[in-house]
Amino acid sequence: MTRKTLQKRRKCPATIATSHHKLLPRQCRPTITAAKAASAAASITEKRKPHVRPACLEKNRVTRGEFVADLLNNRNQIQGLSTLEHEIRLLLAPYEHHNQEIADWSKMVAFTVVNFTPGLRSAADYTAEAESNFVSSKVIFDSIITKEQQDVNGLNGFFLLLHIGSGPQRADKFHVRFGELLDYLTGKGYRLVRVDELLGRR
């Protein structure tokens, strides 16, 4: 879990998290045809309060013991393959879906659950043209720019989620416009930092 983040005139982070275990019932998860790969997020912070995404109220499909064991096993395997200087302590839940119980279980083993801020379409950059929930790169890009221009706080406080890849099913790759997006945001005074910096966990 290594995120990067954006912030306007202050520090701010964004992150990558991996895990695809089904924590919640199928009704609580988005309808997708393939599991998403590791996620990259850019977050932007300042005046906006941290957002708690509304969680599905359905009962979890795993026990606390199963969840904690799986979480720690994933953490240990990732750290064993990486050169991270700090222990992984942030969790972006599979499909970005979690409830209060998952957050509480994570806290018990010193993890903090993070999630993207709603209001943008960036999280849909994995959708394929053949799917009913497809969102084009233009719509995604425009939603970010429009929000930045129209919100009184701009994108301050935002965790902007983007995926590393979308698979061969999507021809309209958003990463083609990522440089353009970064040029726009840095031109507005935002700068890239990491999520653990944002949360004071370095």
Domain range annotation of the chain: 5-198
Q: Helix and strand tally (H, E) in the chain? A: 5, 7
Residue 148's Cβ-count burial label (10 Å; 0-12, 13-18, 19+) is buried
pLDDT given at position 31? 31
pLDDT given at position 42? 40
Distance of CA 178 to the CA centre of its chain: 16
pLDDT given at position 201? 65
**Tokens at 104, concatenated:** 């509480």
Global pTM reads 0.67
**Tokens at 47, concatenated:** 């005046």
In tens digits, what is the pLDDT along the chain, a chain of 202 residues? 333 344 443 333 333 343 333 344 333 433 323 233 333 334 443 334 444 444 454 788 899 999 999 999 999 998 888 777 778 889 999 888 899 999 999 999 999 999 988 888 999 999 999 999 999 999 999 999 999 999 999 998 788 889 988 889 999 999 999 999 999 999 999 987 777 777 776 5
What does the DSSP 8-state code read for residue 96?
G
Query: CB within 8 A of 171, min separation 6: which ones?
Result: 129
**Tokens at 4, concatenated:** 């990067």
pLDDT given at position 202? 57
In contact, 100 and 44? CB cutoff 8 Å:
no
pLDDT given at position 82? 77
- Sign of dihedral through CA atoms 182, 155, 24, 17? positive
- Spatial distance between the Cα atoms of 145 and 179, rounded to a whole number of angstroms: 14
pLDDT given at position 139? 96
- Spatial distance between the Cα atoms of 71 and 115, rounded to a whole number of angstroms: 16
Beta strands in 77-125 (DSSP E): 90-92, 112-114
- Answer yes or no: CATH 3.20.20 is held by domain 5-198: yes
